[in-house]
Amino acid sequence: MMESEIARLTIETSFQGSITVKLIEIQTNNNLSYIINCDSNLYCSEDQSQRLTVGRGYIDHLLSELETARIPATPKWEMGCDGTSYELVLTRGFNAVIYRWWCEASKGYEPVVKFANELLKLAQCNERVSIDG
């Protein structure tokens, strides 16, 4: 059995804590499956962790939507002190892409936001990512 992390969403708030949702691909013989691993101390005093099995067809669909998405190569300039930062890392083998933003994602990042929100739903988290509107 071989496990590979193919997506990791990290949400860090200034004062309430953080949450990390990982999408892990599991290869056993000729079988491929996915699990969601969620670690959080967001809005609670102690760490919480859960590991959930998710449907392969749905994950394959989400990944194919991202593969064909048109996303701006450069983000708009933004910074701040207090607020929430987001990071989505997508990995395939030795290759990776990182999307990082503060507060609300920039226009054009809708496919990234949709994927991030689907990961949060699959992890049974109430937190959601919003887009600059």
Q: What is residue 133's predicted lDDT score, i.e. its pLDDT?
A: 57
Q: What is residue 55's predicted lDDT score, i.e. its pLDDT?
A: 83
101 within domain boundaries: yes
Q: What is residue 103's predicted lDDT score, i.e. its pLDDT?
A: 85
Q: What is residue 9's predicted lDDT score, i.e. its pLDDT?
A: 96
Q: How many domains does the chain have?
A: 1
Taking the CB of residue 88, how many other CB atoms lie within 10 A of it?
Answer: 24
132 within domain boundaries: no
129 within domain boundaries: no
Residue 23 sits in a domain of what CATH number? Answer: 3.30.1560
Q: What is residue 92's predicted lDDT score, i.e. its pLDDT?
A: 92
Per-residue pLDDT of the chain (133 residues; tens, 9 = 90+): 899 999 999 999 887 888 999 999 999 888 889 999 988 886 554 556 778 888 889 999 999 999 999 998 887 787 777 888 999 999 999 999 999 998 888 889 999 999 999 999 888 887 778 777 5
Q: What is residue 47's predicted lDDT score, i.e. its pLDDT?
A: 59
128 within domain boundaries: no
12-38 per-residue burial string, b: 16 or more CB within 10 A, e: under 16: eeeeeeebbbbbbbeeeeeeeebbbbb
Closest CA to 21 of 1, 2, 35, 3: 35
Q: What is residue 73's predicted lDDT score, i.e. its pLDDT?
A: 85
Taking the CB of residue 116, how many other CB atoms lie within 10 A of it?
Answer: 23
Query: The domain containing residue 78 runs over which residues?
Result: 2-122
30 within domain boundaries: yes
Q: What is residue 16's predicted lDDT score, i.e. its pLDDT?
A: 80
